[in-house]
Structure 1
Amino acid sequence: MAGLARLAGFFAAFFFLTSFGASAAETFDTQSLTIVTRDGRSHAFTVELAVTPRQREQGLMHRREMAPDHGMLFAFGETRQVFMWMKNTYIPLDMLFIAKDGKITAIKENAEPHSESIIDSKGPIDFVLELNGGTVKRLGIRTGNRIQNELVESMRKAKQP
């Protein structure tokens, strides 16, 4: 009986470690992304693309730092209301909620690390861009600004009749 309990414990530990390892092992392609403000200024970033369910689930969890000119672009493949959170995320983030045409429709600044509070897109969107907390304020990014990115453009064209 003790051997059976030990074996069950081994399998439980194995499942936990492989499950955690699988989610932590997601890799992300990168692309350039530019935010263009209403006054014509542009700000360039390198973004990791979270396009699969597993990539979107992992996001920036467990990261301790991110370069100032980097971010992560979440693509949902459809227009819908989105709910995000900061569970297991160590760095404060600015979240930009983006429509299919690339227009920023809502912004959540300095989302609190490790918080499980729901962050609502406040309407239907297609993308979320996560940047280091404070970037929105530092660069003067506002709703109505637009992003330019290859993935956003290709998905916009794919949705046109």
Structure 2
Amino acid sequence: MKRAAAAAVTVAAVAIVLSGCAADVDELRVTIDGVTVTAEQATSIEAQREGLSRRDSVPEGTGMWFPLEPAQRTEVWMQDTRVPLDVVWIRDGRVTGVVTLQPCSTEPCPREPSPGAVDAILEAPAGTFADVTLGAAVDMTRSEP
């Protein structure tokens, strides 16, 4: 009985900690050429490697923001990604390129190089940024919880 009670307390404590973490997810509202998405930030190396892979869907109006410091040439690949995505390359608050990539489940997956050094990448469902112009300003604000 004591073990069951202790286990219940532990499960409740873990649930509280995890729900607290979810509330602390750092999100940005990113607007480009009048299109706004709420983007999770992938700030750790692990989060940037994982990206939006292994998700069965990426809802319209959402995406993922990858800050890169310092600005650098980089590549994106779609290994284990299940949905097509738009990739927006960004440097100094301006769009330097947009490409739509398809899911890949084979090895090796093709890699899409950035069009020069970039300091951020934004990924969103395919078609979200189809009409974005090169050089468009990227406006970011923190999302309110």
Per-residue CA deviations over 1:73-119 (Å, capped at 9, x if unaligned) read 101121100111000100000100000x210001112x010161010
Quick check: 2:35–2:128 contact (8 Å CA) kept in 1?
Answer: no
Q: Which residue of 2 aligns with 1:134?
A: 127
Contact 2:54 2:80 in 1 (8 A): yes
Name the Cα RMSD after superposition. 1.5
Name the SS of the counterpart of 2:48 in structure 1: helix
**Aligned equivalents of 1:86, 1:78: Cα separation in 2:** 23
Gaps of 5+ in 2: 1-21
1:29 alignment partner, one of 26, 31, 34: 26
- After superposition, residues 61-100 of structure 1 pair within 5 angstroms as 61-99=53-91
Paired position in structure 2 for 1:48: 40
Give, in angstroms, the shift of residue 136 of structure 1.
Answer: 2.0
Shift, 1:142, TM fit? 1.7
Match of 2:81, as an amino acid?
T
**SS class of match (1:135):** coil
- Alignment correspondent of 2:116: 123
TM-score (norm 1): 0.68
Aligned length: 116
Secondary structure, counterpart of 2:73 in structure 1: strand
Greater length-normalized contact order (CA 8 Å, ≥ 6 residues apart):
2
Gaps of 5+ in 1: 1-26, 152-161
Q: Which has the higher helix share?
A: 1
Helix, strand or coil for the counterpart of 2:58?
A: coil
Q: What CA distance in whole angstroms lies between the structure 1 residues aligned with 2:137 and 2:56? A: 28
Q: Distance in 1 between matches of 2:86 and 2:78?
A: 11
Residue among 104, 111, 114 paired with 2:95: 104
- CA displacement, residues 8-56 of structure 1 (integer Å, 9 cap, x when unaligned): xxxxxxxxxxxxxxxxxxx752121111x3xxxx222100001110110
With structure 2 as the length reference, what TM-score do the two structures score?
0.75
| Runs of 4+ off more than 2 Å | none
